Amino acid sequence: MGINMLQKVIYYDELSALVNKDLKSNKKLPRVLVVDVRNPGEIVKHGKIMNSINLPLKALDNILSMSEEDFFSEVGIKKGELGSCLLVTHCRSGPRGFTAAHILLEHGYTRFRIYSGSLLDWVANGGHVEKDIEENTRL
């Protein structure tokens, strides 16, 4: 009995409310961490969703396997914070967000959603994108 990943999909309006802390749209906002699983070069080129962190898909399994100390050094937040947040994965167009969700699940993280529209949908709907990002795309 696995998790139906389609039930974990989040759409623009809901994610926008979470990112922008819009209490009119969502009265009980969880602490949210948007996880951008694109490669760092894509983020430099196209920007990122406000306050998201970059955990590239190709390194995600290794990053989640790191010790607490190494994780903090690499990502800039305490590893334990991942378990206390609603994690929202996304990429450029959708597929890597789903793959990242499977990896999170394999590591015991169950509080996650998948923004399947990803950055293309975010931009198409007028979502703010942070640009002029330095080489270090993590927090």
Catalytic pick from 55, 57, 64, 91?
91
Active site residue 85: no
Distances (CA, A) of 109 to 58, 100, 124: 18, 11, 30
Annotated catalytic residues are 91
